[in-house]
Structure 1
Amino acid sequence: MLTDSGFWFVQILNSLQLAMLMLLLSVGLTVIFGLMNFVNLAHGSLYALGALAGYSFAKTLGGMWAAYLLSPIAVMLVGAVLYVTLIDRLRRAGPMKQVLVTFGLIFVLMDAQRYFWGTDQLGVTEYPFSGSVEILGQIYPTYRLFIIVLGLIVFGLLYFLLEHTKLGAEVRASVDDAETASCLGVNVERTFFVVFLIGCALAGLAGAVAMPAFSAEAGMGVAILVPTLVVVVVGGLGSLTGALAGSLLIATTLTFGQVFFPEFAGVLMYALLVVVLLIRPSGLFPVRS
């Protein structure tokens, strides 16, 4: 096995596929952390909502392409309601209240998901790229390659948005110094709102994309929340490059850890976190500490 090049290549692809899902989740979370100073532990629940909504859209509208389009919009609308009713009021309440309220929101959203979709695992049998290809003698699902390509496309679009648009300049200025940016005419409150909605939409997209490969169930966001938080801390707050680097590192650690040391895969992830924080306490590519 260790001398089989096909085995290693497949594990690398598995790492990339998991990294792209983590990237879709962590980008919104890290920019929300970096820009708004807001600890949103319910971000994983929005991922689960995207998967469950994607299941419903796929069943009622006849295909996953509708789910890919509509799930981010649906989750973004839910995020807008949460922002107006809770998030905006909690921004100045301090991290402890933010943690407590959003932690409670996890259970509220989980119970709501169970009410509407039940407790069973839900999945679809018909979805794009459902076949498989042979890579170096190994059979690999085409859909996982689709996830990798989609993640890279989204990263490229986000990079262009943050580096080459007016909104991106406002986001970067607000992350560096919100007060000075406001004095220079940047509508920081509007920027906060737009960034939060983008983060919610990406969480919904991640859930819809993950659903055909891993199925959907109420509360599935809880399992992905901790690795996503680790990605944010490892990569650095507010950094798109950090989100990519953290996703690749954590996904590779989890994938190869589960292959070679399945009992200690989770421990390896935290060990990597400790090493990074000892060397770079602010993360690998922080926009600010």
Structure 2
Amino acid sequence: METLALGLFNGITYGMLLFLMAAGLTLVFSMLGVLNFAHTAFYMLGAYFGYTFSQLLGLGFWWGLLAAPVCCAVLGALVERFGLRHVLRYGTLGPLLFTFALDVVLVELVTLVWGKQPVSYQVPHALDFALFTLYGIEYSAYRAFALGMALVVLASLFLMLKMTRIGVTVRASLSHPEIVNALGHNLPALRAGVFVLGAALAGLAGALAGNMLGTEPGMANQLGTVLMIIIVVGGLGSLAGAFVASILIGVLQTLAISSGLSWGDFLGPLQHWASLFVGTGTLSEPLSRYATLIPFVMVIAILVFRPRGLMGKRE
């Protein structure tokens, strides 16, 4: 129960942070038809902006948390206006190459400005305490705050897309862009706004996760593959699917890492038959050693049995 409680709490928190990034990536793909390989670079910049404003400039964590998504949104607006908008005319390959190159450039710029070593982005003192204790395990108040922030953003995103005129226009432009354009809506500005929103969400996720998961130049590459897996597992263009896939991957990975079980314990009565194929040495290895493979196993299973994803639509 201790392992399960700890794994569920931390897994849901991690999954919600993944969804903050996956939501922006999914919206950008839906609106522009572009898989933005530079999306994780905005996540990395959000962590560094949060660190810079809160600690280097001494403005405090809350100003850093506010400044990070704003700075990423401004940078996203510049990238869309002076870069991405001009390469969309070249079909799928142009935007992919552009965003891939942009990711490399942003990582190198971060290395030049802040260095190659991790920076000491710290949890704010106001939230650096145990919120409650369950089964002898202390739960961090900051992790609970990060989870609450992610839930607030999720609810706000849902209400904006479902209840507002802008949200209705965005949803309509996903399936019928020609009609939306004919009705007089500024489709390029709408697409730019979605790209800026995606960059801001990634920056917010970075500012929230940087002091929990570490802030260093390699953090962009660590999550890039996982994010691509999330939108494939959830279904390309499906926001609800991205949410489900984020929670699944976050919880399953965290449970595997925190579990002290071996493969033999996990298989139970089947371990005798499994030992005939893989040997007893493999069965004695802990599950945590293979936790990083969980997203890849999930995406392989999805591509084999349900290629359109959990909630994707067949086209």
TM-score by length of 2: 0.86
Write the distance in 2 (CA, Å) between the matches of 1:125 and 1:254: 24
Q: Distance in 1 between matches of 2:42 and 2:314?
A: 26
Q: Match for residue 141 of structure 2?
A: 142
What is the number of residues matched between the two proteins? 285
Amino acid at match of 2:109: A
TM-score (norm 1): 0.93
What is the SS of the residue equivalent to 1:91? helix
Shift of residue 219, structure 1, vs aligned partner: 3.4
Letter in structure 1 aligned against 2:127: F
Alignment correspondent of 1:160: 159
Distance in 2 of aligned mates of 1:55 and 1:219:
16
1:246 and 1:30 map into 2 onto residues whose CA distance is 12
Is 1:50–2:46 an aligned residue pair? yes
User: How far off is 1:43 after superposition?
Assistant: 0.5
| Bigger Cα displacement from structure 2, 101-110 vs 279-288 | 279-288
Identify the match of residue 86 of structure 2 among 81, 84, 89.
89
- Mapped contact 2:123–2:142 kept (Cα < 8 A): no
| Counterparts of 2:86 and 2:239, CA distance in 1 | 26
Residue 139 of structure 1 and its aligned partner are, at CA, apart by 1.5
Match of 1:284, SS state, is coil
1:8 correspondence with 2:4? yes
1:131 aligns with 2:157: no
1:288 CA displacement: 7.0
Report deviation, 1:215.
2.6
- Structure 1, unaligned runs of 5 or more: none
Question: Structure 2: how far apart are the matches of 1:211 and 1:170?
Answer: 34
CA 1:111/1:34 → structure 2, altered by over 3 Å: closer, same or farther?
same
Other structure's SS at 1:238 match: coil
Q: Which moved more, 1:257-266 or 1:114-123?
A: 257-266
1:287 Cα deviation from its structure 2 partner: 6.1
Gapped runs of 5+ residues in structure 2? Answer: 260-286
Report the RMSD for the aligned CA atoms in angstroms: 1.6
Q: Aligned equivalents of 1:176 and 1:263: distance in 2?
A: 43
Distance 1:126-1:7 versus aligned 2 partners, 3 A rule: closer
Whole-Å separation in 2 of the counterparts to 1:285 and 1:110: 33
CA distance in 2 between partners of 1:247 and 1:93 (Å): 31
Stretches of 4+ aligned residues off by more than 4 angstroms: none
Kindly report which structure 2 residues correspond to 1:270-285, keeping only aligned pairs within 5 A, or say none.
270-285=296-311
Larger Rg: 2
